[in-house]
């Protein structure tokens, strides 16, 4: 029985995708010490000591969970780490506290009104910790077998055998479960628990009986006993759901299927009121606990005056999460009006905000960040090349020089070198223009571009429209 199972597992492994590297995937926290002072370089964060210390204080406030409806504004030039700080807060909060990240422009949708989108975002950021009895399938995986159709297309089908010390059952797997199992990298010998209601798989560890002398395993591999008794169990579990999820489940007869399809539509305010009452009741009875989370709105200047006044009101509710906003605008027009205001946010809302500012990075900080990004992207780089990149970062922008890392590593790989050198960086720098050189280029060859003859009298009005 062992031989077929191992070959099958290898099949499972080969379709596992590696995680992609995002712009902020190097951030693992805020990088603070126990007294909430920011360490200069820690957890992927560099510099911005004051802003990070401020964020740390906010983090403590969120963790205490007593204060509702506070708002924080992170203001600073482009590329000074505003989003990074927000991500750091999210990482430091852990997975049990809801953190919703959205961009200001996301609320403009034809299917949903602006305030509905904002309300949903608010309610996504409030968690309710409920104790519920749930049904689980818990057992040791004896064998997973996934058959793909010969044509390559079409649904995959599979079989999984689970066992406890007393019994054994074969399950037929559907497409969704196959994907989930592949994602969790479940193999024969793992002990897993599947929540019957949500289909969520948790790996509890590897079975003792499967432990062999020469198994290659990570340091975090945990060995557990094979479960006893029946495969299906009822257990009392504590889990966190967001208010939005409860809204959706209760607003339709269809139930939680809408959560997966993403088609939630507008939710009636009566449903929300009813849920608020019920949740308050649960809390009094000790059945549930409210976990206020964080709503992060990036590019907050994209919201218009209606949204801002909605925010004013929404922050007063005792069910409001902590609101974190970020903007890179200075004194500019409030969207939807002709009024000028700092950060494009009305003064009355600004008055409710705590404001942190981020400052442009110093040369050595830029170097640190580039170094961290190189590690994150698995790029070996020589010191000289790093210095050149730092110089480029200082003179153009940090984002531009970060982008050069990957590209120059491709060039160095093409000439089969192990390290990125100054020449590689130079070549990429010549091929790809940064924003300033591109503007210069435009200015120089302006007259050769399309629709150029109009620009002489159009330019002033266009400049006025740009805010």
Please give the residue ranges that form the binding site for other proteins (CB under 8 A): 130, 132-135, 159-160, 163-178, 180, 194-199, 229-230, 241, 245-246, 249-250, 255-257, 274-275, 278, 282, 287
CB of 159 to other proteins, least distance (A): 7
CB of 188 to other proteins, least distance (A): 17
Complex with other proteins: residue 269 or 467, whichever CB lies closer: 269
Complex with other proteins: residue 261 or 338, whichever CB lies closer: 261
Complex with other proteins: residue 170 or 436, whichever CB lies closer: 170
CB atoms within 10 A of CB 357: 15
CB of 182 to other proteins, least distance (A): 12
CB of 112 to other proteins, least distance (A): 23
CB of 186 to other proteins, least distance (A): 12
Answer for the pair 124, 133: CB distance below 8 angstroms, yes or no: no
Complex with other proteins: residue 194 or 295, whichever CB lies closer: 194
Complex with other proteins: residue 189 or 227, whichever CB lies closer: 227
CB of 181 to other proteins, least distance (A): 9
Complex with other proteins: residue 163 or 210, whichever CB lies closer: 163
Complex with other proteins: residue 258 or 354, whichever CB lies closer: 258
CB of 266 to other proteins, least distance (A): 19
Pairing of strands 168-173, 157-163: antiparallel
What lies within 8 Å, CB to CB, of 324 at 6+ separation is: 58, 71, 72, 73, 74, 86, 89, 294, 295, 296, 297
CB of 172 to other proteins, least distance (A): 5
Complex with other proteins: residue 54 or 279, whichever CB lies closer: 279
- Can you tell me the distance from the alpha carbon of 409 to that of 399, in angstroms, rounded to the nearest whole number? 16
CB of 168 to other proteins, least distance (A): 5
Complex with other proteins: residue 168 or 263, whichever CB lies closer: 168
CB of 2 to other proteins, least distance (A): 18
Complex with other proteins: residue 83 or 182, whichever CB lies closer: 182
CB atoms within 10 A of CB 216: 5
């Amino acid at each position: 029985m062992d031989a077929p199972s191992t070959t099958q597992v290898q099949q499972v492994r080969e379709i596992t995708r590696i995680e992609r590297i995002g712009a902020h995937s190097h951030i693992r926290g805020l990088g603070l010490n126990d007294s909430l002072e920011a360490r200069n370089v820690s957890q992927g964060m560099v510099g911005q000591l004051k802003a990070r210390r401020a964020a740390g204080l906010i983090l403590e406030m969120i963790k205490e969970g007593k204060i509702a409806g506070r708002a924080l504004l992170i203001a600073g030039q482009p590329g000074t780490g505003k989003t990074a700080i927000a991500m750091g807060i999210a990482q430091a909060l852990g997975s049990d506290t809801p953190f919703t990240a959205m961009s200001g422009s996301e609320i403009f949708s034809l299917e949903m009104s602006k305030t509905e989108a904002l309300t949903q975002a608010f309610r996504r950021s409030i968690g309710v910790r409920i104790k519920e009895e749930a049904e689980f399938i818990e057992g040791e995986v004896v064998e997973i077998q996934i058959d793909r159709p010969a044509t390559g297309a079409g649904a995959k089908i599979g079989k999984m055998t689970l066992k406890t010390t007393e019994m054994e059952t074969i399950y037929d797997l559907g497409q969704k479960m196959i994907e989930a199992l592949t994602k969790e990298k479940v193999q024969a010998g793992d002990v897993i628990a599947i929540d019957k209601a949500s289909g969520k798989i948790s790996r509890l560890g590897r079975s003792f009986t499967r432990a062999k002398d020469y198994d290659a395993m990570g340091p975090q591999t945990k060995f557990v006993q094979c479960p006893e008794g029946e495969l299906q169990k009822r257990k009392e579990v504590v889990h966190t759901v967001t208010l939005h999820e409860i809204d959706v489940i209760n607003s339709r007869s269809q139930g939680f299927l809408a959560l997966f399809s993403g088609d939630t539509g507008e939710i009636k305010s009566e449903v929300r009121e009813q849920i608020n009452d019920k949740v308050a009741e649960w809390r009094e009875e000790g059945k549930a606990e409210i976990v206020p989370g964080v709503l992060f709105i990036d590019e907050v200047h994209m919201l218009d005056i209606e949204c801002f006044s909605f925010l004013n009101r929404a922050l007063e509710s005792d069910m409001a999460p902590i609101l974190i906003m970020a903007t890179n605008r200075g004194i500019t027009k409030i969207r939807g009006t002709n009024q000028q205001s700092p950060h494009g946010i009305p003064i009355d809302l600004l008055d409710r905000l705590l404001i942190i500012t981020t400052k442009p990075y110093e040369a050595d900080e830029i170097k640190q960040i580039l170094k961290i990004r190189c590690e994150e992207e698995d790029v070996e780089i020589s010191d000289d090349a790093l210095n050149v990149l730092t110089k480029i970062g200082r003179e153009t922008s940090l984002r531009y020089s970060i982008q050069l890392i990957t590209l120059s590593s491709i060039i160095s790989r093409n000439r089969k070198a192990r390290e990125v050198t100054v020449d590689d960086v130079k070549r990429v720098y010549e091929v790809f223009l940064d924003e300033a050189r591109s503007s210069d280029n435009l200015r120089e060859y302006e007259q050769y571009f399309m629709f150029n003859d109009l620009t002489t009298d159009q330019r002033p009005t266009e400049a006025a429209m740009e805010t």
